[in-house]
């Protein structure tokens, strides 16, 4: 990931904070700050499909986040001091999680459409749609995954031996 040309070229990067069954992103987050890039993480709105990408000030800033009922760390609902990526310069790159992927770029998420809805909002931003990279285990690559007309394909899927 760190050697990837899209990562190297990007200044404003959104990345998920890993759940135990996902690719671990902690070292990537540390490198984002080491390289002087800006790091944004998701804040999910429960009972909706709205997600915002909020700016982290440092890798250590993660320890100040609250744990949701889904066991995900994220900025609290009343945290209004953080920049939302689309309120500023947009994003260059989004690293995305998922449950399954196919080689056509289709992604099976957890069913709420958070990333698809967020990417639709990105397309309306002056900076346009960011490049998207899904981080996966080899075992998550399927022949095909079910999709709907609202699903947005990922630009690239990175997994072991790809």
Binding-site residues, please?
17, 22, 107-115
Q: What are phi and psi of 40, to 5 degrees?
A: -125, 140
Q: Which residues are annotated as a binding site for ATP?
A: 107-115
- H or E element that contains 8: helix 5-9
Q: What are phi and psi of 108, to 5 degrees?
A: -105, 115
Q: Which residues are annotated as a binding site for substrate?
A: 17, 22
CA dihedral 72, 145, 141, 3 (to 10 degrees): -60
Smallest CA-to-CA distance from 152 within 126, 127, 134 is with 134
One DSSP character per residue, 119-158 reads: HHHHHHSTT-PPEEEEE--GGGEES-----TTPPPPSEEE
Residue whose entry in the numeric block shows the structure tokens 């999680």: 97
């Amino acid at each position: 990931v760190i050697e990837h040309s899209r990562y190297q070229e990007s200044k404003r990067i959104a990345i998920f904070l890993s759940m135990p069954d996902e690719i671990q992103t902690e070292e990537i987050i540390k490198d984002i700050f080491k390289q002087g890039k800006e790091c944004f993480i998701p804040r999910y709105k429960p009972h909706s499909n709205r997600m915002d990408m909020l700016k982290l000030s440092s890798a250590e800033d993660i320890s100040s986040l609250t744990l949701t009922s889904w066991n995900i760390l994220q900025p609290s609902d009343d945290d209004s001091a953080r920049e939302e990526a689309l309120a500023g310069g947009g994003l260059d790159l989004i690293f995305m999680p998922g449950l399954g992927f196919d080689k056509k770029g289709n992604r099976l998420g957890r069913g709420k459409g958070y990333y698809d809805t967020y990417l639709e909002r990105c397309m309306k931003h002056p900076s346009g749609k960011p490049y998207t990279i899904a981080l996966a285990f080899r075992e998550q690559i399927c022949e095909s995954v079910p999709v709907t007309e609202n699903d947005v394909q990922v630009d690239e899927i990175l997994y072991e031996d790809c």
